[in-house]
């Protein structure tokens, strides 16, 4: 038995990848990784348990047809069932608006899942330790947290990765030792794809600094995965302790470390029908909890409110996914779109210095003394019936009419924010301050408003 096969058998046993019964549907592209994997599985499993699945994505023309014929012939010679899907991924991507890579992945896994017939069936994909290293780096530059940096799991649901313990070089060596031919995908050399740039340009440089880079990143991913599992377990326990009826106790949530609280929110929102809340929504909800009040909308039409010491989330039909509000408490307020609103109050004589300090080209100033300070300032998205009196016009108009007159694109109208006090709109993004709160010669103190852009990141 070769060293690679021995390690894969041990890996499968250690990770509990294969039940004693059921089909193993091996995704086989024809590349070295998948050919090595299916050859190993053919040696490990009874023939009746193995099925090969190949997807012709309709992207590479004759080259893709060659790969399909190669896989079909290889399976035929070994009497292994081979299922093939001929897809039009470019056409599907154009319809869905996805990138080719994302669309191809969705089509591919949907096909694999369609071949599953029993609860013990497994889908085997040929991800290697080299893919793991690329994935960790890719997630790192995208701003991932511990979950994303945990990389590719050995198993997720009914999907398993039998050769994740081997590098790409090791699977190619296994193919040569066993006289296995494989197909080369020319698109793997095209560096306009981010993953290919990492593979061909970034990782070679990192290997010069650390020849064991793949093993290092593998250990990092494992360590972060262990930490993430611990935090998720703590969050599950904290979620049960924070429950009040259909909501969560704000008081109990406020006692939790932020790393646990944000995971509690993610688990709770998933229960309520928002399967993949984005980091910006989780952070906005966490800020609402910490402030003790606020409202926002999550993808999928889930409305979240923090009120009277209870956080509640519920599905609302036809909800605007961009609708949210937050009370302003303190200098900085995280907005529902990921930006930060900053308000500063100071004497009018300091205006010039404050502009210079913040390097602002278009500062926004309000007359601080015209604002009713007994009312809580609220920042939010627009609502039906909103009216606004822009400075210099002296007339009040509906925001809908103002947006129409100024030809504000429909697709961004629900993303523009407003500042409100006691039901009066004091400022509208892209329109400025209201007429009553404009700075004039009699102004003594001003309120400076400016926006910081979104800081990208994922939990």
CATH label of the domain that carries residue 267: 3.30.465.60
At residue 317, the pLDDT reads 61
85-102 pLDDT, tens digit per residue, is 999 988 888 887 777 788
The answer on 177 and 67 residing in a single domain is yes
The answer on 179 and 44 residing in a single domain is yes
The answer on 96 and 21 residing in a single domain is yes
Q: Is residue 21 predicted with pLDDT exceeding 70?
A: yes
Q: Which of 235-244, 283-292, 311-320, 388-397 is most confident?
A: 235-244
162-184 pLDDT, tens digit per residue, is 999 999 999 999 999 999 999 98
- Mean pLDDT over 252-275 rounds to 92
The answer on 256 and 138 residing in a single domain is no
CATH number at residue 90: 3.40.50.620
At residue 299, the pLDDT reads 66
User: Is residue 395 in a domain?
Assistant: yes
Give residue 355's pLDDT band: very low, low, confident or very high (50, 70, 90): low
Q: Which residues pair with residue 324 across a beta bridge?
A: 296
365-407 pLDDT, tens digit per residue, is 899 998 876 677 888 888 888 999 998 877 889 999 999 988 8
- Mean pLDDT over 218-237 rounds to 94
Q: Is residue 458 predicted with pLDDT exceeding 50?
A: no
- Mean pLDDT over 201-220 rounds to 92
User: Is residue 457 in a domain?
Assistant: no
The answer on 262 and 303 residing in a single domain is yes
- Mean pLDDT over 64-72 rounds to 94
- Picking from 321, 350, 383, the residue at the C-terminal end of a domain is 321
The answer on 314 and 344 residing in a single domain is no
Separation of alpha carbons 256 and 247, rounded Å: 16
Q: Which of 140-149, 399-408, 420-429 has the lowest mean pLDDT?
A: 140-149
Q: Is residue 152 predicted with pLDDT exceeding 90?
A: yes
Q: How many helices and strands in the chain, by DSSP H and E?
A: 17, 22
Separation of alpha carbons 443 and 449, rounded Å: 16
Separation of alpha carbons 163 and 34, rounded Å: 9
Residue span of the structural domain in which 125 resides: 3-223
Q: Is residue 428 predicted with pLDDT exceeding 90?
A: yes
Give residue 457's pLDDT band: very low, low, confident or very high (50, 70, 90): very low
- Mean pLDDT over 410-425 rounds to 87
Contacts of 2-9 with C-beta under 8 Å, sequence gap 24+, read: 2/174, 2/177, 2/178, 4/36, 4/40, 4/166, 4/170, 4/171, 4/173, 4/174, 5/40, 5/43, 5/44, 5/174, 7/165, 7/166, 8/40, 8/44, 8/162, 8/163, 8/165, 8/166, 9/44
- Mean pLDDT over 56-74 rounds to 92
Separation of alpha carbons 119 and 95, rounded Å: 33
Please give the structure tokens belonging to residue 153.
């799991």
The answer on 403 and 257 residing in a single domain is no
Q: What percent of the chain has pLDDT over 70?
A: 91
User: Is residue 135 in a domain?
Assistant: yes
Q: Which of 80-84, 165-169, 292-296, 350-354 has the lowest mean pLDDT?
A: 350-354
At residue 352, the pLDDT reads 66
User: Is residue 231 in a domain?
Assistant: no
The answer on 166 and 138 residing in a single domain is yes
CA 133, 270, 262, 412 torsion-angle sign: positive
> How many independent structural domains does the chain possess?
3
At residue 194, the pLDDT reads 77
Bridging pattern class, strands 122-124 and 159-160: parallel
Q: Which of 22-36, 188-202, 440-454 is most confident?
A: 22-36
The answer on 338 and 317 residing in a single domain is no
The answer on 351 and 313 residing in a single domain is no
At residue 318, the pLDDT reads 52
Give residue 219's pLDDT band: very low, low, confident or very high (50, 70, 90): very high
The answer on 90 and 12 residing in a single domain is yes
Tell me which residue of 32, 230, 15 sits closest to 131, measured CA to CA: 32
Please give the structure tokens belonging to residue 353.
């210095």
pLDDT top residue among 371 and 233: 233
pTM over 0.85: no
- Mean pLDDT over 110-114 rounds to 95
Give residue 357's pLDDT band: very low, low, confident or very high (50, 70, 90): very low
CATH number at residue 441: 3.50.40.10
User: Is residue 230 in a domain?
Assistant: no
User: Is residue 228 in a domain?
Assistant: no
User: Is residue 233 in a domain?
Assistant: no
At residue 341, the pLDDT reads 84
At residue 336, the pLDDT reads 64
Q: Residues near 449 by Cβ (< 8 Å), separated by ≥ 6?
A: 341, 342, 343, 364, 365, 366, 419, 427
User: Is residue 132 in a domain?
Assistant: yes
The answer on 314 and 342 residing in a single domain is no
317-339 pLDDT, tens digit per residue, is 654 455 677 778 777 777 766 67
- Picking from 321, 347, 382, the residue at the C-terminal end of a domain is 321
């Amino acid at each position: 038995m070769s060293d690679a096969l021995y390690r894969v058998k041990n890996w499968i046993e250690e990770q509990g990848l294969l039940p004693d019964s059921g089909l193993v549907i091996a995704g086989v592209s024809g590349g070295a990784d998948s050919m090595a994997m299916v050859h190993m599985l053919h040696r490990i499993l009874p023939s009746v348990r193995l099925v090969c699945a190949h997807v012709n994505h309709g992207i590479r023309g004759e080259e893709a047809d060659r790969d399909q014929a190669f896989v079909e012939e290889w399976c035929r010679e070994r009497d292994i069932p081979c299922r093939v899907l001929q897809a039009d991924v470019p056409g599907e991507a154009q319809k869905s608006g996805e990138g080719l890579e994302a669309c191809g992945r969705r089509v591919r896994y949907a096909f694999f899942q369609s071949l599953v017939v029993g609860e013990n069936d497994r889908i085997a994909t040929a991800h290697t330790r080299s893919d793991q290293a690329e994935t960790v780096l890719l997630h790192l530059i995208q701003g991932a947290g511990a979950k994303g940096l945990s990389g590719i799991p050995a198993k997720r649901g009914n999907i398993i990765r039998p050769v994740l313990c081997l590098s790409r070089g090791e699977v190619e060596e296994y193919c040569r030792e066993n006289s296995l031919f494989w197909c080369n995908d020319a698109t793997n050399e095209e560096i306009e794809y981010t993953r290919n740039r990492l593979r061909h340009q970034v990782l070679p440089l990192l290997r010069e600094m650390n020849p064991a880079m793949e093993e290092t990143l593998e250990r990092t991913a494992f360590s972060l995965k262990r930490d993430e599992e611990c935090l998720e377990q703590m969050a599950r326990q904290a979620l049960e302790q924070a429950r009040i009826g259909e909501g969560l106790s704000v008081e109990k949530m406020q006692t939790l470390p932020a790393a646990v609280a944000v995971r509690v929110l993610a688990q709770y929102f998933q229960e309520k029908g928002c399967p993949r809340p984005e980091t910006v929504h989780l952070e906005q909800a966490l800020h609402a909890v910490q402030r003790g009040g606020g409202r926002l909308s999550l993808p999928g039409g889930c409305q979240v409110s923090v009120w009277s010491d209870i956080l509640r989330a519920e599905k609302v039909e036809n909800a605007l996914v961009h609708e949210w509000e937050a009370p302003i408490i303190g200098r900085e307020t995280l907005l529902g779109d990921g930006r930060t609103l900053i308000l500063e109050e100071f004497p009018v004589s300091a205006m010039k210095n404050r502009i210079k300090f913040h390097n602002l080209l278009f500062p926004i100033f309000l007359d601080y003394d015209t604002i009713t300070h007994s009312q809580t300032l609220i920042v939010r998205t627009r609502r039906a019936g909103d009216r606004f009196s822009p400075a210099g016009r002296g007339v009040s108009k509906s925001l809908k009419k103002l947006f129409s007159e100024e030809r504000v694109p429909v697709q961004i109208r629900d993303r523009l924010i407003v500042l409100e006090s006691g039901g009066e709109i004091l400022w509208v993004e892209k329109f400025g301050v209201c007429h009553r709160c404009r700075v004039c010669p009699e102004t003594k103190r001003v309120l400076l408003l400016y926006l910081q852009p979104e800081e990208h990141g994922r939990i």
